[in-house]
Amino acid sequence: MDKNQSPRPRAAGRRTTPVAALLLGAAASFGAAAQPAAGIPAGGPTSLAATIQARQHMFGFENVNPANGDVRRDRVIFAWLTTTTFAVAANGKVFMLDGYIDDDQIVAAPARKRTPTGLQELVDLNPEWIFIGHGHNDHTAYIANVAYRTGATVFGAAEHCAGMQVDAGRQFGTGASVKCTAVLAAGVPIGTTAMNLPDLKPALCLNVMRHLHGAATPPDTSIPPNGIDFRDGEDPREFELWGTGPAAYPNVRASGGGGSLSVLYQFTVPGPRAFSFSVYDSVGPYKELAPELIPALNAWPATDVLIGAVSGANNPTNGMRDAAIYIRDMQPKVFVPSHHDESQRRRGAAGNSGEWWKRNLLTSMTNIGIPLAQQPEVRWLNDPYDYIRPSLLTFDPASPRWVKAGTRTNATCN
């Protein structure tokens, strides 16, 4: 819809679908007074048809109502969009984790674009919420633009919300703003939690914790050496397989509000299984730099699926030990990696970098003492071939697989 066009009146007696209502809200949020800066794309979702198409792409044709764009409520579906950005559908809600597309470039034919999505499809997806893991540009570049154009509510620490308003003003003019809810107050220390937040209810329950951004530490002499270099297993054919070109939206960037301040999120689907997934987008060496997180994460409610960054400054010295420690302390049943494509920028799976890194994680879990029987299923993602493959990450919250055992309790969700 054009930014100066008023929403079309509905016929008398016609019931607005949830997605249609979101589209109307997006148009209203953009407003006629917006004056985007040069090079900043504007306007709300293209149309309901475009939203249906984007959701079918992200979540699978069979999971999206072709008439109104609603996503089935009895599944939790993730689509990896690059780096730590995921599109998520859970209990019928559509939202995003982070908001950045790696290698979002204009590629001239006949070359192929490496990433099968871009900024406009994120807008057409019309998410209701967007969650910030931390404020660096390779996690938040597109968030303010998508939130402003769709009316989505952003969640993050208070520092992240301040940065979002800066980004909105830079892109859309003085006075432009986005809706942002601070789930953690400014300046809170690492290990601070906020539990059973009301903001997503009744669809989902939310817990958050401030945790540690990635950093380099000396080799851990208590375990065997297992460092990994970012070039290990790279594919020399990358630039032949995938084209390059200028950035699609070079002026859509984040100011970095909140910087390395990192938030871990846990989402719970209400129901007898209390299916929960936790997400962190930066892997910190908290064994050395924030040991207070060890008891905090050991006390964290049960997590069925953990989506976590595996790549960071500590990889050359300690491999994926830090990711393995998150797994040890949170005890998920399924682990899904992220951020490994950005660190191995333009190094794809055909060179076996994916298998190389996966083996490093498995070895790291053994090195730190996780018995094989207690190691989670690892659903490794290989870039770029696993971008937007929802069939890899579709879960049934009602499955008996999620019955909790042991002393770790379910997240409170009422």
The pLDDT tens digits of the residues spanning 25-39 come to 565 455 445 689 899
Q: Residue 246 corresponds to which tokens in the numbers above?
A: 């200028």
Q: Which segments in the chain show pLDDT lower than 50?
A: 1-17, 28, 31-32, 348-351
Is 338:307 a contact under the CB 8 Å cutoff?
yes
Q: Is residue 409, in this structure, part of any structural domain at all?
A: no
Is 370:329 a contact under the CB 8 Å cutoff?
no
Q: Is residue 35, in this structure, part of any structural domain at all?
A: yes
Q: Residue 197 sits in a domain of what CATH number?
A: 3.60.15.10
Q: 355: domain range?
A: 18-401
- Residue from 187, 211, 191, 207 nearest 199 by CA: 207
pLDDT digit string (tens) for 201-242? 999 999 999 999 999 999 999 999 999 887 766 667 777 788
Q: Is residue 10, in this structure, part of any structural domain at all?
A: no
Q: Is residue 161, in this structure, part of any structural domain at all?
A: yes
What pTM was computed for the model?
A: 0.92
Structurally, the chain folds into a number of domains equal to: 1
Q: How far lies 326's CA from each of 86, 256, 337, in Å? A: 20, 25, 12
Q: What is the reported pLDDT for 218?
A: 97
Q: What is the reported pLDDT for 348?
A: 47
Q: Is residue 84, in this structure, part of any structural domain at all?
A: yes
- Residue from 104, 116, 107, 387 nearest 244 by CA: 107
List the end-to-end C-alpha distance of the chain, in Å, as a whole number: 38
Q: Is residue 408, in this structure, part of any structural domain at all?
A: no
Q: What is the reported pLDDT for 405?
A: 81
Q: What is the reported pLDDT for 341?
A: 85
Alpha carbon 279 to chain centroid, angstroms: 8
Q: Is residue 344, in this structure, part of any structural domain at all?
A: yes
Q: How far lies 385's CA from each of 314, 342, 348, 380, in Å? A: 26, 14, 8, 11
One-letter amino acid of 376: P
Q: Is residue 3, in this structure, part of any structural domain at all?
A: no
In the sheet where 262-268 sits, what is the strand order?
Answer: 193-197, 205-211, 262-268, 276-280, 305-309, 334-338, 377-378
Is 346:311 a contact under the CB 8 Å cutoff?
no
